[in-house]
Amino acid sequence: MIIINQTITVETDPGINIYNITPQIKEILTASSIKNGQVIVFIRHTTTALAINEYEVRLLEDIKIHLQKLAPPNDKYLHNDLHLRDVPPDEPENAHSHLMAMMLNNSEIIPIVNGELALGTYQSILFFELDGSRSRSILVQITGSEK
């Protein structure tokens, strides 16, 4: 079995933004010799998320609106009482971003079949920035065989 670890870096914009990282993952897979196995995509940030869904502009706006309804940025959150915690001077009030991230995923597993991601016709691997703007890293681990 072969194991490949790569990191994708995404420079994000402020607020909620959704990025299609499928092309970068396909590029890593294409450069490998793996024909059958799986791709694990994992993020190491608590105010980001992953999902597999359609990358369509109007749907992306619907998703952003829905997330903001579930965790409104202007609500009162205990996490945002920064004066009651020991935090760096640039610490943002971002409890809503943490809550949104909990409703999504921090990892996804995609099968590899005959050297291709086994995604459906309209499926893309989506990376969610829920706080931004920052430099974010996404771990991509590809495991499998050359057969």
81 belongs to a structural domain: no
Q: How confident is the model over 61-74, as pLDDT tens digits?
A: 999 999 999 999 99
Tell me: pLDDT of 6 over 90: yes
Tokens representing 15 are 């607020």
Number of folded domains that form the chain: 1
State how far the alpha carbon of 50 is from the alpha carbons of 7, 133, 139, in Å: 15, 17, 12
The 10 Å Cβ neighbour count of residue 18 is: 21
127 belongs to a structural domain: yes
21 belongs to a structural domain: yes
The pLDDT of residue 37 is 98
Q: Residue 64 is part of which domain span?
A: 2-74+93-145
87 belongs to a structural domain: no
134 belongs to a structural domain: yes
Q: How confident is the model over 43-52, as pLDDT tens digits?
A: 999 999 999 9
Name the residue with tokens 């809503």: 96
Calculate what percentage of the chain has a pLDDT beyond 70: 100
Q: How confident is the model over 104-141, as pLDDT tens digits?
A: 999 999 999 999 999 999 999 999 999 989 999 999 99
Tell me how far apart the alpha carbons of residues 44 and 86 are, in angstroms, rounded to a whole number: 22
SS3 52: strand
The pLDDT of residue 90 is 87
Q: How confident is the model over 70-97, as pLDDT tens digits?
A: 999 999 999 999 999 999 988 999 999 9
The secondary structure of residue 89, as a DSSP letter, is T
- In the chain, what are the helix, strand and coil shares in percent, each to the nearest 5? 25, 35, 35
Name the residue with tokens 């004066």: 83
Please provide residue 14's backbone torsions phi and psi, each rounded to the nearest 5 degrees: -65, 155
Q: What is the CATH number of the domain that holds 22?
A: 2.60.120.460
The pLDDT of residue 147 is 82
